[in-house]
Structure 1
Amino acid sequence: MESPGLRHTCLKLHIEDGRGAAVIFVKGTWLPTRFELFITDGLDAWICSATETEVEQRAELWDQHVSEYIAMAERHLGFQQPGSIYRFEDAGVGEKRLSWTFEKQGTRLEWRWKCQSSPNSKQVTANILDFLMDANTRLSEEVVSKRQSFERLKAEAEKCLAQSEKYCIEKKEFEDATYGKFVAVLNSKKAKLRQLRDRLSRYESTDRGPQCKDDSGDNVGAVDMSSEDEETKV
């Protein structure tokens, strides 16, 4: 069972080794208070075991908390940082010194850790390759899973789009039919109102009766057809 907070990284690192540009693989095992590095160039291998005491002393030297120091080291050895200069140089018989630079408050600083030659280079190299293969398998499975999820989401989106278009068409048809019925009812009401207005106009014209005019054509009186006793006024 792995310790709580245990993390692993593996970096293909382009470095300067004193003879020119080279490539090494750095596998890091990170814990809250210490870390280990396993390094190979494909032929030889080296190990760096940073103990809790060493990490605490380095962190105190740089005026940092241990967690901050670990996080910063992991950031630089988990992903090659742009602008940082990495070196992997000889530091004695069978030993190497891994270093990297970083900027702090406008000043370029450098961290160095000494790495011991591994007693079993093949095993270290094989473990790094196994880790990379496992990581590649996990990433491939994750890519396949995400692609399948994407295809499902795409199918659902297309289905929702088709339903939305169908609902829009049905809504328009419903609105057109409703509007058509409303116009028909409105026109019918208008026709009835015209009929009522015409009937009322005829009724009022009949109710007023004929009007009398003098020779000049002016109205001089009207006959009230509703009363037989009233005389026509001249």
Structure 2
Amino acid sequence: MRCRSTSVHQISIASEPHRTFFLKLEWAKDLGSGFVILLSDGVSAWSGEVSEEDVSREAQEIEMELERYVGDLHLALTGEGPAAEGEYSFHLTPERPGRPLLQLSYEKVQNDISFRLGVVDLQAVPEPTEVIRELISHGLEQSACLQAKNQHLLEENQKLRREQEHITKKMERYVQGKETLERDLYGRFVLVLNEKKAKLRALQKRVKELEESIEKNRLRKKADSEEHKTMETAADKSPEVESDYGGSTEDEQEAEPRQSDPKPLTQERSRLKRPKPRRAKRQTSNRNQQALWRTLIRTTCLMIYDPLWGLMSTVCDKHDFCTVFKLQE
């Protein structure tokens, strides 16, 4: 067989509790293709072989899938894997008269129930010292391999520890930088926040001042309006100086100097000199009386000065009666 795998481990025989046995197992591909067993107690040695057909027959006898059977067989004979202590047991049948062979059976214990996985016939080895030497050599090789593996793991562990220390220091620097940056940003944030608060307070103060100014202007305008209304009411209630005949008569108008080119009042002066409602009513009454007198005088003049009527009509439209009489004279 080529590229054979080897496994050696210590087992306990239930029928020989005071003896220590070492079980060496060799196989090619896997245990399903057959294997060779070598058993030694340090003084004697026995060997046996299990073929592929034997493995298949044992799996059929216990009605178990071959793959699962091979897995349990590997755990029982090599001692590798997560198998719990006491899950597998070994029994050794002593030699009988006329039969120089030993039988090694291996069983699986599950829920206090055991069933046999298999059995192998062992034959005594003529030179047990050679087998013991092979066991010792294999043990030393395994020990050296384990030491090398352990050394490699130690180096990896030291390397990882150095990397961890380096990363820890770097993380500490990052944390310190982060804390410094946070303090700086927090300080800047506080400054900006205080400036914003100051601006808000100034704006609120300005808005309050504007509101107060607007309220003062409104109250002042209201007071001025009320004062103006009060003055107008007092002026309307004051006694009139002029009577219904307070207007100028024709004689008074005759004594007044003649205006060569009277100009009409502008719209602004007319608005400023617009009479009060009651005074305007009284002045309208006076004008109506004056117009009535002019009409009466023109009629009288028509009876007396018929030839001069056209001249008087023109003059009376622009001047009063006294002016007409002065022209006639």
Instruction: For residue 38 of structure 1, give the secondary structure of its aligned residue in structure 2.
Output: strand
Higher relative contact order (CA 8 A, sep 6+): 1
* Residues 106/43 of structure 1: CA separation in 2 closer, same or farther (3 Å cut): closer
* Corresponding residue number in structure 1 for 2:270: none
Change (3 A) 1:94 1:183: same
> Which SS does the other structure have where 2:12 is aligned?
strand
Distance in 2 of aligned mates of 1:192 and 1:53: 97
The amino acid that maps onto 2:47 is: I
Compute the displacement of 1:202 (Å).
Answer: 4.6
Structure 2 distance, partners of 1:232, 1:137, is 121
Higher helix share: 2
Classify the secondary structure of the residue corresponding to 1:185.
helix
**Contact 1:35 1:50 survives alignment (8 Å):** yes
Q: Which residue of 2 aligns with 1:108?
A: 114
Counterpart secondary structure, 1:86: strand
- Comparing 82-91 with 128-137, greater Cα deviation is found at 82-91
Q: Give the AA of the match of 2:198.
A: A
Higher strand share: 1
Matched with 2:44 is 44
Tell me the residue number matched to 2:244. none
Q: 1:25 maps to which residue?
A: 22
**TM-superposed deviation, 1:193:** 3.5
Q: Which residue of the partner structure matches residue 146 of structure 1?
A: 153
Which residue among 107, 129, 139 is the counterpart of 1:132? 139
Distance across 2 between alignment mates of 1:233 and 1:168: 79
- Structure 1 gaps, min length 5: 213-219, 225-229
Asked if structure 1 preserves the Cα contact closer than 8 Å seen for 2:86 and 2:109, the reply is: no
Equivalent residue in structure 2 for 1:195, among 195, 202, 206: 202
The aligned counterpart of 2:277 is: none
2:103 matched residue in structure 1: 97
SS of the counterpart of 1:43?
coil
Letter in 2 for 1:100: Y
* TM-score for both structures, normalised by structure 1: 0.75
Matched-pair contact (CA < 8 Å) for 1:16–1:22: no
Q: Does 1:10 align with 2:8?
A: yes
Over the aligned positions, Cα root-mean-square deviation in angstroms equals 3.3
1:50 Cα offset (Å) = 1.5
Q: Deviations over 1:48-85 (max 9, x none)?
A: 11223333333333334555444333321212951544
1:217 is matched with none
Q: Is the Cα–Cα contact under 8 Å of residues 28 and 36 in structure 1 kept in the other structure? A: yes
Go from structure 1 to structure 2 and tell me whether the alpha carbon gap of 1:91 and 1:190 turns closer, same or farther (over 3 Å shift).
Answer: same
Alpha-carbon separation, structure 1, partners of 2:206 and 2:114: 103
1:33–1:66 Cα contact (<8 Å) kept: no
Q: Distance in 2 between matches of 1:63 and 1:175?
A: 71
Q: Is the 8 A contact 1:222 1:233 kept in 2?
A: no
Aligned mate of 1:181, from 177, 188, 199: 188
Residues 33-59 of structure 1 deviation map (CA, whole Å, 9 limit, x = unaligned): 211011211111111112233333333
Distance 1:17 1:193 in 2: 97
User: Is the partner of 1:112 in helix, strand or coil?
Assistant: strand
Q: How many residues align?
A: 219
Cα pair distance change 1:136/1:201, threshold 3 Å = same
- Identity of counterpart residues, as a percentage? 22
Change (3 A) 1:67 1:130: farther
SS at match of 2:8: strand
What is the CA–CA distance in structure 2 between the aligned matches of 1:210 and 1:102, rounded to whole Å? 108
C-alpha distance 171-233 of structure 1, shift in aligned 2 (>3 A): farther
SS at match of 1:2: coil
Q: Is the 8 A contact 2:49 2:120 kept in 1?
A: no
**Paired position in structure 1 for 2:259:** none
Output one character per residue of 1:97-137: Cα deviation in whole Å (capped at 9) or x when no partner: 21233247974333432101113212211111111111111
8 Å contact kept, 2:89–2:109: no
Assess if the C-alpha contact under 8 Å between 1:34 and 1:70 holds in 2: no
Counterpart amino acid of residue 136 in structure 2: L
